[in-house]
């Protein structure tokens, strides 16, 4: 499980991408990203989450997003990513 804190924007998106890529480097992985500490998510953050999903899915793994606060869930739903990413 990866817990994310702060604004999921340009400043944090690269670090999150590298972290999730590193965790899935060994092959198929089932990863959980806890978004309870994220209050804001921009296109950079969305790109990091979507990129991680595509990478992990391509390796035969699964990425799950948990506890997205209403503001972040709204951003994901508004852009249709709730139909691509697994939100719990």
- The domain that contains 46 carries what CATH number? 3.30.750.24
Number of domains in the chain: 1
Look up the domain containing 26 and give its range: 2-87
C-alpha to C-alpha distance for 82 and 75, rounded to whole angstroms? 9
Q: What's residue 61's pLDDT?
A: 93
The pLDDT, as a whole number, for residue 27 is: 81
Q: Taking the complete model, does pTM exceed 0.75, yes or no? A: yes
- Could you say which residues of the chain have pLDDT below 70? none
């Amino acid at each position: 499980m990866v817990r994310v804190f702060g604004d999921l924007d340009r400043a944090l998106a690269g670090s999150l991408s590298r972290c999730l890529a590193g965790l899935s480097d060994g092959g198929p992985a089932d990863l959980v990203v806890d978004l309870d500490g994220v209050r804001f998510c921009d296109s950079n953050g969305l790109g990091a989450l979507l990129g991680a999903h595509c990478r992990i899915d391509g390796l035969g793994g699964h990425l799950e997003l948990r506890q997205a606060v209403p503001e972040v869930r709204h951003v994901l739903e508004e852009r249709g990513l709730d139909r691509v990413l697994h939100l719990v």
